[in-house]
Structure 1
């Protein structure tokens, strides 16, 4: 149960990191924002 919740949170954070819809991340493109999201998870 806990593992499933952790995986769900990681998936949501990765999806938010991939979509560059905020002004500060739109200029970066897809790579850096996804990488930052991944670092925040780890």
Structure 2
């Protein structure tokens, strides 16, 4: 159940990172940096066996 929720959240974040809308172009790299941190934490948890 929690893996499904995490997958959905990651997909939504991936869609949010794409600078397809004019107002989101000024955000810079902040959304992709946040997504990278989340993916790194999830990978560490996966390797440690806590996920």
TM-score for both structures, normalised by structure 1: 0.53
State the structure with more CA Rg. 2
- Segments of structure 1 that go 5 or more residues without pairing to the other structure are none
Q: 1:19 matched to which residue of 2?
A: 19
| 2:21 counterpart SS class | coil
- Are 2:35 and 1:38 aligned? yes
RMSD: 2.6
Q: Which has the higher contact order (CA 8 A, sep 6+)?
A: 1
Shift, 1:38, TM fit: 2.0
Q: As a proportion of its length, which structure holds more helix? A: 2
Matches of 1:33 and 1:22, distance apart in 2: 16
